[in-house]
């Protein structure tokens, strides 16, 4: 037992007889004082005592012989090279089997080194934000900081000298002892239990998740280990909340680090790609992409980490994922950077758009077929319109000859027989004459209607010039009705058909003058404004107005709302306007209330000049 004690002790230990001769010592004597054990054994112990302490041994021996106890105390010793060192000395009596004192044992420990080490270590530990626990090779706790007391609920004196396993849940104790032994055999700074969940145990028995970093400490007394312990309960709660959010997301969520390694996935990712988590986590993200994208994606990934920001991936391009079976499917991907303690990560939200693409293709196919049908129908309508226009032109032109004959002979009859027959015969002649005259007007209007757009050559048309020309042509009517025509601001220059636009302006202004209220001179306000793809015009008046049920009917050819005795005309003017506006890719409508005026509005689309 004595030999074992000497072998493992870190202190200098002596066995001395009552005369002061050294009988035995351990190897630490050489470390402390420079003497080989075999050379100092047999020497007087006082060779280690300074001059001023030569009586120290005798005094302690006498006290022990008198049965007194000797408490450890600080003193000084002389080394072989005559230097002084401070030590803590502890003297004890050595007794034989009968209890008689036969010698004295002395245990000496360097005071300055130990105190300096403890002082420096304690100062460093107290500045650490984490709980710091220093353990010796036997697993005993030799130093802790205030954070350790706070984290585990023990006072410092309850921890010092105890096995470190008191801070670990019981189920981990046996394995931890083995890991501790392995660490001391291959000591290096590292994180403890990397990739595993670690737990600490509070004095109350409550467990909490921790992170532990281990660092070896080389000291004269041997190897020690420093453990920095951090409570990660709040982080675990945040991670759990984040994980729950991930799992509740409708899209596949994949979190990747800068090297492209998959760190985290949700259940939707497993479902979409057919891999389980173990088959994805730790593997490169290119696992989930068609092989042809691998090299270019790696370049894009490096560039993204240089300039990370939330955005869609591959905007404007068709992206594809690849499942475990090798099947490809179209996807949309949104990227978001995540700043973490472990560095920058990227979250990719992946959505399978197979159904969307299928629907888009169906809509595209329907649109193509619809466009073909519309094109075909348009061609048919254009052909029919041309035929109708040709028919109207020919019919109206051919009708004029017999109508002129009728009018001529009616004229002859009036010259020869008017007032020579009875009143009934004269009235018949008047009816025939006026009917022929109205018929001639209708045929002329129909002929004009069929001619609209026949000579379709686009020109730049200054609407201000057109308005001036129209007002000059209508000057008599304007003066007679005492009409006031104003423009809110300059009208635009448009690409259009000059003759038709002039006729459009003239018809609208003529109507406003014609359909004015009694005792209220016509007031006409003309304005325009730019709209997407063209121009919008407004011709507002203070006339008699139009009832709502007639506001569409007035644009139909030969539709009249008033008796000819009230207002002259054939009822084709607004039909002309509608055809001219549609010829320019626009539409025309009216907003009106009876006796409160009308606002005729129309649009003209922007067309390229021919």
Rounded distance, CA 469 to CA 601, Å?
21
Confidence at residue 90, expressed as pLDDT on a 0 to 100 scale? 92
Is the sign of the CA dihedral 300, 301, 302, 305 positive or negative? positive
Per the CB < 8 A criterion, the answer to whether 555 and 577 are in contact is yes
Rounded distance, CA 537 to CA 503, Å?
15
Q: Which residues contact 484 (CB under 8 A, 6 or more apart)?
A: 521, 522, 523, 524
For the CA atoms of the chain, what is the radius of gyration?
55
Rounded distance, CA 328 to CA 323, Å?
7
Rounded distance, CA 543 to CA 510, Å?
12
Q: Which residues contact 108 (CB under 8 A, 6 or more apart)?
A: 11, 12, 13, 14, 32, 77, 87, 88, 89, 90
Which residue from 57, 74, 75, 77 is spatially nearest to 17, judged by alpha carbons? 57
Residue 559: strand, helix, or coil: coil
Rounded distance, CA 395 to CA 392, Å?
5
Is the sign of the CA dihedral 47, 50, 54, 60 positive or negative? negative
Residue 169: strand, helix, or coil: coil
119-127 — which CB contacts under 8 Å span 24+ positions?
none
Rounded distance, CA 255 to CA 263, Å?
5
Tens of pLDDT along 458-474? 889 999 999 999 999 88
Proportion of the chain in helix, strand, coil states, percent, rounded to 5: 45, 25, 30
Confidence at residue 123, expressed as pLDDT on a 0 to 100 scale? 61
CB-count exposure of residue 306 (10 Å: 0-12, 13-18, 19+)? exposed
Per the CB < 8 A criterion, the answer to whether 112 and 118 are in contact is no
User: How is residue 348 written in tokens?
Assistant: 């990719």
DSSP, res 583:
H
DSSP, res 492:
P
Q: How far is CA 607 from CA 170, 461, 604, in A?
A: 86, 12, 9
The neighbouring-strand residues paired with 320 are: 330
The neighbouring-strand residues paired with 333 are: 350
Low-confidence stretches of the chain (pLDDT < 70) are 1-8, 112-125, 220-221, 384-401, 403, 435-456, 550-551, 557-571, 607-610
Task: State the pTM of this model.
Answer: 0.39
Rounded distance, CA 71 to CA 100, Å?
21
Which residue from 231, 173, 227 is spatially nearest to 202, judged by alpha carbons? 231
| Residues found in the chain | 610
Confidence at residue 416, expressed as pLDDT on a 0 to 100 scale? 74
Q: Which residues contact 192 (CB under 8 A, 6 or more apart)?
A: 179, 198, 212, 213, 214, 227
Which residue from 266, 259, 232, 249 is spatially nearest to 345, judged by alpha carbons? 259
Q: Which residues contact 160 (CB under 8 A, 6 or more apart)?
A: 141, 142, 143, 144
Per the CB < 8 A criterion, the answer to whether 447 and 485 are in contact is no
Q: What angle do CA 519, 522, 525 make, to 5 degrees?
A: 150
Is the sign of the CA dihedral 295, 298, 302, 304 positive or negative? positive
Per the CB < 8 A criterion, the answer to whether 336 and 344 are in contact is no
The neighbouring-strand residues paired with 25 are: 14
Per the CB < 8 A criterion, the answer to whether 88 and 73 are in contact is yes
Confidence at residue 565, expressed as pLDDT on a 0 to 100 scale? 47
CB-count exposure of residue 543 (10 Å: 0-12, 13-18, 19+)? buried
The neighbouring-strand residues paired with 21 are: 44
Rounded distance, CA 568 to CA 562, Å?
9
Residue 500 backbone phi and psi in degrees, to 5: -65, -40
Per the CB < 8 A criterion, the answer to whether 164 and 141 are in contact is yes
Consecutive H or E run containing 233: helix 233-248
The neighbouring-strand residues paired with 201 are: 207
Number of H helices, E strands in the chain: 18, 24
Query: How many other C-beta atoms are found inside a 10 Å radius of the C-beta of residue 60?
Result: 19
């Amino acid at each position: 037992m004595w030999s074992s004690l000497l072998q493992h002790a870190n202190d200098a230990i002596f066995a001395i007889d009552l005369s002061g001769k050294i009988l035995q010592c351990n190897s630490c004597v050489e470390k402390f004082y420079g003497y080989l054990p075999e050379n100092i054994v047999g020497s007087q112990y006082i060779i280690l005592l300074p001059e001023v302490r030569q009586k120290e041994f005798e005094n302690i021996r006498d006290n022990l012989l008198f049965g007194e106890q000797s408490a450890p105390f600080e003193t000084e010793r002389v080394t072989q090279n005559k230097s002084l060192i401070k030590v803590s000395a502890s003297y004890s009596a050595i007794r034989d089997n009968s209890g008689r004192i036969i010698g004295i044992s002395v245990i000496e420990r360097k005071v300055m080194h130990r105190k300096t080490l403890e002082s420096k270590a304690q100062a460093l530990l107290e500045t650490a934000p984490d709980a710091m626990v220093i353990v010796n090779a036997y697993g005993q706790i030799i130093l802790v900081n205030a954070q350790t007391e706070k984290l585990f609920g023990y006072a410092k004196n309850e921890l010092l000298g105890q096995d470190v396993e008191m801070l670990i849940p019981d189920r981990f104790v046996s394995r931890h002892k083995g890991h501790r032994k392995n660490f001391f055999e291959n000591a290096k700074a590292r994180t403890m239990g990397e990739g595993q969940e670690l737990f600490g145990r509070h004095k109350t028995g409550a467990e909490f998740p921790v992170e532990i970093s281990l660092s070896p400490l080389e000291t004269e007394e041997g190897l020690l280990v420093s453990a920095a312990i951090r409570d990660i309960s709040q982080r675990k709660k945040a991670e759990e909340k984040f994980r729950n959010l991930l799992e509740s997301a409708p899209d596949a969520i994949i979190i990747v680090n800068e090297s492209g390694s998959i760190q985290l996935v949700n259940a939707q990712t497993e479902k979409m790609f057919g891999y389980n988590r173990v088959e994805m986590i730790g593997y490169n993200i290119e696992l989930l992409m068609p092989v042809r994208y691998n090299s270019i994606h790696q370049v894009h990934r490096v560039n993204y980490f240089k300039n990370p920001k939330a955005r869609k991936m591959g905007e404007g391009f068709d992206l594809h994922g690849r499942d475990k079976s090798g099947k490809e499917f179209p996807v949309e991907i949104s990227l978001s950077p995540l700043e973490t303690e472990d560095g920058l990560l990227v979250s990719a939200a992946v959505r399978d758009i197979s159904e969307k693409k299928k629907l888009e293709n169906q809509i595209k196919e329907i649109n193509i077929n619809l466009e073909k049908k519309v094109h075909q129908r348009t061609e048919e309508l254009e052909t029919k319109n041309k035929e109708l226009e040709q028919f109207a032109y020919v019919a109206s032109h051919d009708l004029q000859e017999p109508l002129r004959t009728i009018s001529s002979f009616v004229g002859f009859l009036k010259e020869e027989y008017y007032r020579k027959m009875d009143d009934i015969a004269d009235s018949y002649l008047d009816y025939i004459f006026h009917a022929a005259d109205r018929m001639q007007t209708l045929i002329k209007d129909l002929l004009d209607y069929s001619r609209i757009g026949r000579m379709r050559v686009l020109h730049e048309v200054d609407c201000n010039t057109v308005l001036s020309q129209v007002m000059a042509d209508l000057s008599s009517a304007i003066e007679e009705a005492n009409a006031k025509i104003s423009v809110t601001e300059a009208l635009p220059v448009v690409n259009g058909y000059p003759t038709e636009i002039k006729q459009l302006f003239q018809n609208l202004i003529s109507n406003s003058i014609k359909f004015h209220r009694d005792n209220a001179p016509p007031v006409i306000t003309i304005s325009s404004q730019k709209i997407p793809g063209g121009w919008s015009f407004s011709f507002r008046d203070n006339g008699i107005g139009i009832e709502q049920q007639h506001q569409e009917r007035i644009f139909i050819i030969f539709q009249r709302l008033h008796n000819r005795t009230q207002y002259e005309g054939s009822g084709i003017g607004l039909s002309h306007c509608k055809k001219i506006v549609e010829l320019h890719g626009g539409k025309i409508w009216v907003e009106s209330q009876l006796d409160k005026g009308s606002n005729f509005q129309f649009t003209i689309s922007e067309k390229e000049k021919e």
